[in-house]
Amino acid sequence: MSLFPTTLPPAEAIPLRGGPVLRWGVLAPGRIAGGFVWALHQHTDQRVHAVASRAPERASRFAAAYGIPRVHESYEQLVADPQVDIVYVASPHSEHKRQALLAIAAGKHVLVEKPLALSASEARDIARAAHAAGVFAMEALWSRFLPQTLLIEQLLREGVLGDVQLVMADFGGRFDFDPEGRVFNPALGGGALLDIGIYPIWFAHFALGAPPRVHATGSLTQTGVDAQAALVLSYATGAQALLHTTVLAETPQEAVIAGTHARLQLDSRFFAPSGFTLKAARSDQRLRWTDTSGIHGSEGLAYQAAAVARHIAEGHTESPLHPLERSIAVLETIDAARGQLGASGRDGGSAR
């Protein structure tokens, strides 16, 4: 019988300053890109040197807002810029593969916003191209690099929770319906699963690995993309993951990992800097961990930028923490769920 720990180990954190520095270029400056650049400039030594947009005036406004010295009139010009080491792709999902391949073909490292692509098939194309070119490529799954995630990984590795039997996670938000917008437009990779559902699905993969069986139920919007989905992921060990995502209502946005020795419950917005409670099984013993870094919300994007710089300096072409194989496996789960729901969209491959 495992003894419940008296204290939690100190949380490791990826150093945000003092390490290798990359010169970043940003493709498709929008809200997500703005949050990334702000966090990067505010909390790390990394710097954005160039930006490009299909609308040059938009790129100019973005550059002025974030102190970026170079504005390019096309994506092709940016990826050819010798002052850029790595390209951050922040476009709608439908453009991820094309823009990632553009950067890779120019010999640039690439960080692609989640999801890596519209489907596992497209993600494999990106991985093959990056491997062939010998450049670094990663999906920007920022939650993987937060201090809380590194600590949870340690607890799982040391068997503090025992055998994990159940993972539960949800992420729902209320989005105003816009048939032409990114969330609801099939041509842009719309739908809950690809947009915010990737967080609970990734979390289940993080805790339990890729599932051999996926069962999904849910509903579609009038544009044919998935409005909400409930997933059961089943594993050979008997473990399960119960996941939910929706664009119709705000949900608690919490997550739980339940094992034979203890249960770990993450606070709301489990995918952002927050905290968790570890409770012993069949006992009132519990331990509390809270992120005291002062980094809140999307400021946590800083950790992945610093991690990428260190990975590249160490000679990696993939992240040891979030390899391309994990991104592909998560998209395989999403492919399966979207296929079972009958969701429409340009997915670059068939759902299984």
Which amino acids are annotated catalytic? 114
Return left, alpha or beta for 311; rule: phi > 0 is left, psi -120 to 50 is alpha, else beta: alpha
Q: Give the residue among 350, 28, 346 at the shortest CA–CA distance from 185.
A: 346
Separation between Cα atoms, residue 193 and residue 339, nearest integer Å: 11
Q: How many residues does the chain have?
A: 352
User: In whole angstroms, how large is the CA radius of gyration of the chain?
Assistant: 20
Query: Contact 239/250 with Cβ under 8 angstroms?
Result: no
- Conformational region of residue 133, where left means phi above 0, alpha means psi within -120 to 50, and beta covers everything else: alpha
Two tokens, residue 335:
């492919």
CB 198 within 8 A of CB 226: no
Q: How far apart are CA 97 and CA 112, in angstroms?
A: 9
Do residues 135 and 1 make contact, with C-beta atoms less than 8 angstroms apart? no
User: What angle separates helix 96-105 from helix 120-133, to the nearest 10 degrees?
Assistant: 10
Largest CA distance in the chain: 64
